[in-house]
Structure 1
């Protein structure tokens, strides 16, 4: 057991070092991501090579199976360099947890080296049982990173079931229609378009119930997909808040009467907001570690704490969030369900 834990720690340290090493490249391509509304291929390729998208995939399938506390630090480091890159890394990494819920042969097929997954957990699809599988129709919004994903998992409500059953349905990218809807001011580089499937057949082995239990054992897989998503979203939010672009906006000077009148309030409130953010994120990290030790995570407390603590910082920073160049728009998108 100690040998396995040591291997997980080594892999986690390697990923964290890789995230820090990639930060300059990610920052250099941030404006391109904003302009093109998708993270550039050069950056995505480096994330693939580093193993970021597979860091929550079981080691038996070739993944990193890193500790959640390390994984969220990796996402935070990436998000400091660019929020959009951190966000699509978060989506790809957290959907890697899906591999633990699938039959082994299916997991090995989908989670081959270099494969990127994405998806949407909002149950916007319908699934009708049919001959050992499901006939699925639906349209899902906010499919971040769909343009570079090879497989997408979409939540669908099974029809005709005695009890509500929401299942994640896995589709190859060729079966998905991408609808160009992502015209926003914040997190533009995530390419979070709508996606749709029309009358697609999904074998049962390529689906799993969100209420089900994983087939893989291990501390990491005590986390539900929703629980892992919650703490990972919080990591992206904190990374953005600590990034140089937001610091630049905070320190920008203005000669307007309104900004001069608020300057003394900024001098007091900015350190308070940063202190509150550090305190709540520290509590969130401790909760994440504790949940990992106990083999589960039942709430999104770290996520709620993080977003709650960021609000004073956003208020005191101000800014024209409707403007396409406003970096604070990133937070608006993260707070949108």
Structure 2
């Protein structure tokens, strides 16, 4: 497997666009070109199709590092790479066709919000799906649909000219992720562009593709939250040192930040250790038990929740500076608050 080294991530280049992305709610083309050049949307795509095929721990490190650079870039890297999990489910010819281009990236939704009517050679698909991150630049869309007259759900692969992007992503954070709803009206999808996530149709899979999907997803979004929190503490320390040089207030705030960051680091380290252990067992061919999967998920959610709650407490120390939208601290806080709201990271009932 090819390792993406952290030093390849150009933090300064990404952050140079942070204010613009937050203001315009869009990813500038030159930053998108950079993400494509570094194959950050292809971390789980096989090398035969121009990808990097990373292991899960290595990919989570990339997600965290890019998110530390900027929350929007980290989220889009994570979502874009996640689309590579579907490569083994497609026919070999379709996988070659859709994933070989350098700019290949999926947007879409796993919620079965569409209806697929059987037609000669395929299906006629209609529906509307929410929260399709990366929709403005996706080279393809996947949308789960129920086959009319059955309980069967099948994933439909649609081309951009078949999809209407509704432009309704008006969230207060992660503004540039383009997580818009999409609408499809009576679009024909040939059979060879449909698939089931439970069926492998080619030999392109790597170890990550057989890792439990829910645990994979929770871990991926946790890595985003950890990276954004890393950035917050970095920015907060810098602001405290600039705002209160040599004052008692500075010492107090830095001490508070240290406490929050220490707990953040502790929970992040526990999460990453659990991922490494689970991955080692996975590579050895050991099936993950339900109890082991739930333990990994709980560890991940604890780390993400600690990142969110620590930042929420820490930002209180910065007064009015923290409420202005143009403030970097405010932007980072908004991005983390938004990322942590993903359904995979919601708190679970006690005892679950």
Report the TM-score, using the length of structure 2 for normalisation. Answer: 0.80
Q: For residues 76-225 of structure 1, what are the structure 2 equivalents within 5 Å?
A: 76-114=64-102, 115-161=104-150, 164-213=151-200, 215-216=202-203, 217-223=205-211
Q: How many Å apart are 1:113 and its aligned residue? A: 2.6
Report the TM-score, using the length of structure 1 for normalisation. Answer: 0.83
Deviates more, 1:222-231 or 1:189-198: 222-231
Aligned residue for 1:313?
Answer: 310
- The counterpart of 1:332, out of the listed 311, 328, 337, is 337
Contact 1:246 1:328 in 2 (8 A): no
For the residue of structure 1 that corresponds to 2:136, the secondary structure is helix
For the residue of structure 1 that corresponds to 2:5, the secondary structure is helix
Task: Summarize deviations over 1:196-240 as a string: whole Å, max 9, x none.
Answer: 111111112111123334533432221355543332212211111
| CA spacing shift, 1:226–1:266, aligned 2, 3 Å | closer
Aligned residue for 2:269?
Answer: 278
Contact 2:256 2:314 in 1 (8 A): no
Number of residue pairs the alignment of both structures matches:
318
Task: Summarize deviations over 1:145-200 as a string: whole Å, max 9, x none.
Answer: 11111111112222322xx3322211111111111112222111211111111111
Contact 1:280 1:309 in 2 (8 A): no
Deviates more, 1:230-239 or 1:293-302: 293-302
Contact 2:260 2:314 in 1 (8 A): no
Aligned equivalents of 1:296 and 1:132: distance in 2?
38
For the residue of structure 2 that corresponds to 1:135, the secondary structure is strand
Aligned equivalents of 2:275 and 2:259: distance in 1?
25
Q: How many Å apart are 1:89 and its aligned residue? A: 1.0
Instruction: Structure 2: state its 5+ residue gaps.
Output: 344-352
* 1:24 and 2:12 are equivalent in the alignment: yes
Aligned equivalents of 2:263 and 2:5: distance in 1?
28
CA RMSD, 1 decimal? 2.8
Q: How many Å apart are 1:286 and its aligned residue? A: 3.1
| CA spacing shift, 1:315–1:46, aligned 2, 3 Å | closer
Aligned equivalents of 1:195 and 1:250: distance in 2?
40
Contact 1:94 1:225 in 2 (8 A): no
Aligned equivalents of 2:144 and 2:323: distance in 1?
31
| CA spacing shift, 1:225–1:322, aligned 2, 3 Å | farther
Aligned equivalents of 2:287 and 2:72: distance in 1?
28
| CA spacing shift, 1:89–1:71, aligned 2, 3 Å | same
Aligned equivalents of 2:312 and 2:160: distance in 1?
40
| CA spacing shift, 1:16–1:25, aligned 2, 3 Å | same
